[in-house]
Structure 1
Amino acid sequence: MALLLSLLLAACIGLALTAGLLPYAFRLLGRLIGKSIRSKTQHRREILVQRALKEEAEQKDKQSEQDSKKKASSSTSLDSDWEKVNDGGDKTPTGNHTSSPISASDDSYDGIITFFHPFCNAGGGGERVLFAAILATQQRYPNALCVVYTGDHDASREQILTNVRNRFNIHLIPARIVFLYLTTRDLVLASRWPHFTLLGQSLGSLVLGWDAMNLLAPDIFVDTMGYAFVLALVKWLFPDVPTGAYVHYPTISTDMLESLHKEEGSGVNAGQGKGARGKAKQFYWELFAKLYSWVGGTIDVVMTNSSWTQNHVSQLWTRPRTQRKKPHPIGVVYPPCAVAELQDKIPSSGDPQRTRNILYIAQFRPEKMHQTIIEAFHAFLKTHHKDTPTESRPRLILVGSVRDDHDEKRVYKLRLQAQEIKDSVDFVVNAKWPQILEFLKTSSVGVNGMWNEHFGIGVVEYQAAGLISVVNDSGGPKVDIVVPIDGEPTGFHATTPTQFASAFAQALSLSPSEALAMRQRARKSSWRFSEKVFSDAWLGHLGNLVALATHSQKGQVERERGRERDKVK
């Protein structure tokens, strides 16, 4: 009996020790796998760096040749021609995304900064943030190589950069940007997970992250789409690699949980918390929120695109990040908006070209609530323009990009919904920047229908262009953008189709002096979201990541030297 008790006690002690060692064993396994991945991708890293240096050299030679031709041409010109050359010689080249100077460049950092953005060619606000961040990064750290993990196999680097120029007027240095193509992007599509979508997409993102790491091991890893689980994977494989997140929208939030018990105005899950099925959904979401909080605690630097997002992310991530002693607080970095360009190209007063049209700029995705806006516009026409000839009515202009067949089918369904008022509704798909600029210049009202829009770049564009905004009474448009200036309103808020219809009527019935005053207040407000403000904030957080990477590299060098000294001894 005593022997049996001794064996049981020994077994219990063994299990306890094993359980205590499991976390260490798990972390060690990650390090070993990460070391193997870094070794396996080293050759690709060397090829990419050499290609960048070669392309830079070729570009410099080409530029020198062009400069020589210009110099030769100018030296043979007449004195009167010299004056023309001199007049234009000090001007900044046109087409540059940033109107204000970036912080002085730092040639000392030459690592690989990777951006995880599987849908980088989608053409939405998130992509503007990505490429504006890369532009600022290239100007601050010209010797760094920016790598984007993407799933856009149908687009080459040249095609993507052309789209970036056309859509956002952002001009990047091609030699210092690389696109690595993922093969498992379909695993993060909502359509792939009809049930347990949040969990399914998060697990799918882990596979996608594994795909990315096996393409190239990073020196700095930044997620710009919201895949927090991928950041936790990177930390498991490469504990010394600094990780950053630019969060547009939390994957789960307290607002989402509350929306289960609301009937209207609370997004696609409104009112789904009833009965046993609803309780099960709420239980599942609460468990997922805990898991989301845990992975968020692994991230070194966290940026959010609005006060609303910061508040919700802080609720979930602050405690686990504090427990892991992450030194950098969660900060707000407002997305970059073309404020300077819009205010330069669109007049601030008079507005002789403006029609009474209502403009909605948003990707054709379900959460953008296009159907609500079409319903509201239909009600507005019925109430206020029932007997007005079609050619004299205000028009609803829906401008947005489509990512795939699902988006195209969504546009088709929206066209069917608008069939009764089709003569007063325009669908503009994948518009280029000059076309968008024209709509901003000639429309009167800008609308945003999404519930809890994380920020709302389109709304800032409305303000900078002098439109009167009508936005959903939630999220970033409510908290950060369409707020009083000098104690006076800069737009209208609404939730239901009836409220949107009423707001359209109010906006279009303002007297010329009232409308002008509101437009000017909105334009003044929009400067808070300029490209310069974004660049400065982004570079501050990126500087923290570079500092962590530099410190990590120094530590690795010291450890290598220590091992060499030990071998000599």
Structure 2
Amino acid sequence: MLTFLSHAILALLVLTATAVLLPQLPSGLLALIFRGVGWLIRRRTRSRREYVIARARSEEEEYRASRAKDSTSRSQVEDEEDWEKVDTGERPPSSSDSGVAETEEGKKDDWSGVVGFFHPFCNAGGGGERVLWEAVRATQRRWPKAVCAIYTGDHEVNKTTMLERVENRFNIKLHAPTVVLLYLTTRKYVVASSYPYMTLLGQSLGSLIVGYDAFTLLVPDIFIDTMGYAFTLALCKWLFPSVPTGAYVHYPTISTDMIASLDDQTGVQGINSGAGKGSKGAIKRRYWEFFAQLYGWVGRHVDVVMCNSSWTAAHIRKLWGKSKSSDANNTDGAGTAFSPAVVFPPTGVAELESSISVDAESENTRQPVLLYIAQFRPEKNHPLVLRSFARFLHDRAKSPEYAGYPPPRLVLIGSVRHSSPDETHIYNLRLLAHELKIRDQTTFLCDASWPAVLSHLGTASIGVNAMWNEHFGICVVEYQAAGLICVTHNSGGPREDIVVDLGDGPTGFHAETEEEFAAAYEAALTLSQSEKVEMRERARHSARRFTEAEFSRKWLDQVQKLVDASR
């Protein structure tokens, strides 16, 4: 209780100093106050930092000793059984077997600092978490002596269980000794349900409390936000000016598209479509415009900015404007708030290609199944998929040519944050499926394992994504890599980066309304077999732009700037 009160009181002091003293105090004096607070935090957490680093080094030594012992045991067995051994071409153990593989470029670095990843919901199991863990793996490979500290609020999961889940869900194996989980006690302050009104501002100010909580656990050498809490990066700069900060932006907290959606009369532009009417709508507009300015000011404190798509980068460029970072060394226009680097999220394209065939023979095993992989959250717009699927089935039932054929099916796969509004959301989705009379043709799979997801990707025919302005769409790339024909919302990353014509023909369909989605399902399923195979092959070729190796290369290029700045 006392710890909680100290967090709340100090965070309140920070907010008070910013809101009240900022207009009255010289900027130099205010900066001095924040640096003084930062110095106190460093001093109080020095022993914990030393313990965390020592513990990581100790676990590394134990790991190496265990590997050496296993290697010796294997050698003894091989010597004893040499009389029956044949040449298998197996390579001898090498230094790269230490549990940390080298990067594609073969580069390693002896930098041994602490990289802090701010991701309070790292066990959520979504695309953002795939990015986090792939980023950790890439960082481990380049800087094997560095400690990767993840600030998380998932108290119910220890490190061993967390890493097992990461491997099971994303097929990402991490080097355990240099991964450290630091447990936050104030995560509730960034939960949207805590702020029934002014949610964006509430969560952003709440993130200052959670950010302060993180720094009192450990002050890193590099601080990277991988979940979208830009205010924590500004707080880091105020408290610790020498700590380089980086942001991987999945989507802007607010965008000009969001503000424009207030005037939308079609009802298709997100959950706030048409909400700008009347006096209440006018207040909402002013509030969003004010928050956009505040968000832009905060974003200009970030040293290195990465965005997951062209759509996100365009909005960040417009909202954050030119950062305080110098462009002198930025010859390629990447890595500053003025021109952020586009680092597409990693997707297991290679595994999908090796596991799933796309040819005339495999086409015979495809079923008339529509697959939607997305977290069960309101913004993913599952109701649009359910309604359009119901309309599609209704229209098909009128056509005598389909009599006797089994009806198409819809499979919805996604993670659910337990003890959260997500559980209520999926309950309501099940009710909607029942009301639309498609319950028998609809399957809900919650928190499915990667093998289960892989099985559905290999047998479904169509991949669906209905979110308005999906910032990128990892699941859409997975659809393409698996050879599914995509039907995606005509906005955001799927329209601008993924489901695009690369010069050899379309790789899928775009839609916005219920009627357009239903028509796209029909068009995709009625293609001839040869047309289906050709589109699947084009889609798979398109997906090769979004491999894990490509993400790692671009991620490391940007993080290298932070490492250089921290030396």
* TM-score w.r.t. length of structure 2: 0.90
How far did 1:446 drift?
Answer: 0.2
Q: 1:493 is matched with which residue?
A: 510
Q: Is the 8 A contact 1:229 1:295 kept in 2?
A: yes
CA displacement at 1:102 relative to structure 2: 2.9
Match for residue 193 of structure 1 among 192, 195, 205? 195
Q: Structure 2 vs 1, CA of residues 544 and 322 (structure 1 numbering), >3 Å: closer, same or farther?
A: closer
Which of the residues 340, 347, 358 maps onto 1:337?
347
Change (3 A) 1:90 1:158: closer
- Residues 390, 424 of structure 1: 8 Å contact kept: no
Q: 2:296 aligns with which of 270, 293, 298?
A: 293
| Kept after mapping to 2: 8 A contact 1:390/1:423 | no
Amino acid at match of 2:417: R
CA offset at residue 425 of structure 1? 0.2
Are 1:337 and 1:530, in contact at CA under 8 Å, matched by a contact in 2?
A: yes
Q: Is the alpha carbon distance of 1:390 and 1:46 closer, same or farther for their aligned partners in structure 2, counting shifts above 3 Å?
A: farther
Which residue in the other structure is 1:318 paired with? 321
- The count of aligned residue pairs is 530
Q: Does 1:397 align with 2:411?
A: yes
User: Which amino acid is the alignment partner of residue 382 of structure 2?
Assistant: H
| Counterpart contact for 2:103–2:142, Cα < 8 Å | no
Query: Per-residue CA shift, 1:436-484, capped at 9, x if unaligned?
Result: 0000000000000100000000000000000000000000000000000
1:543 match: secondary structure? helix
Q: CA deviation at 1:487?
A: 3.9
The 10-residue stretch of structure 1 (117-126 or 312-321) with the greater mean CA deviation from structure 2: 312-321
- 2-structure distance, mates of 1:516, 1:49: 53
- Please state if 1:365 is matched with 2:377: yes
The 1:324–1:36 alpha-carbon spacing in structure 2 relative to 1, beyond 3 Å, is farther
Q: Distance in 1 between matches of 2:152 and 2:23?
A: 39
| C-alpha displacement of 1:91 | 12
Structure 2 CA distance, aligned partners of 1:307 and 1:501? 28
SS for the counterpart of 2:117 is strand
Match of 1:60 among 53, 57, 64: 64
Distance 1:444 1:284 in 2: 44
Cα distance change on mapping 1:220 and 1:260 into 2, 3 Å? same
Query: Which runs of 5 or more structure 1 residues have no equivalent in the other structure?
Result: 1-17, 551-569
Larger radius of gyration: 1
Query: Residue in 2 aligned with 1:385?
Result: 397
Asked if the contact 2:100/2:144 (under 8 Å) is kept, the reply is no
Q: Which amino acid aligns with 2:288?
A: W
Give the aligned partner of residue 183 of structure 2. Answer: 181
**Which of 276, 280, 283 lines up with 1:273 in the alignment?**
276
1:412 aligned residue: 427
The corresponding residue for 1:304 is 307
Cα offset, 1:504, TM superposition: 0.5
More helix by share: 1
Larger mean Cα displacement after TM superposition, 20-29 or 62-71: 20-29
1:272 CA drift (Å): 0.5
Residue 436 of structure 1 pairs with residue 438 of structure 2: no
What's the Cα RMSD here? 2.2
Match for residue 118 of structure 1?
120
Distance between the aligned counterparts of 2:201 and 2:230, measured in 1? Answer: 12
In structure 2, what is the equivalent of residue 25 of structure 1? Answer: 29
Deviations 1:22-54 (A, max 9, x none): 211110011111011011111011111111111
Which residue of structure 2 lines up, in the alignment, with residue 465 of structure 1? 482
CA distance in 2, matches of 1:354, 1:108: 49
Q: Is the 1:105–1:142 contact (alpha carbons within 8 Å) kept by the matching residues of 2?
A: no
Percentage identity across paired residues of the two chains: 49
Taking the aligned partners of 2:282 and 2:258, their CA distance within structure 1 comes to 14
Residue pairs, 1:40-189, within 5 angstroms:
40-84=44-88, 86-87=89-90, 101-189=103-191
Q: CA deviation at 1:87?
A: 4.6
Aligned partner letter, 2:143 = Y
Structure 2 residue identity aligned to 1:297: R
SS class of match (2:130):
helix
Where does structure 2 lack aligned partners over 5 or more consecutive residues?
1-21
Contact 2:100 2:175 in 1 (8 A): no
Contact 2:465 2:487 in 1 (8 A): yes
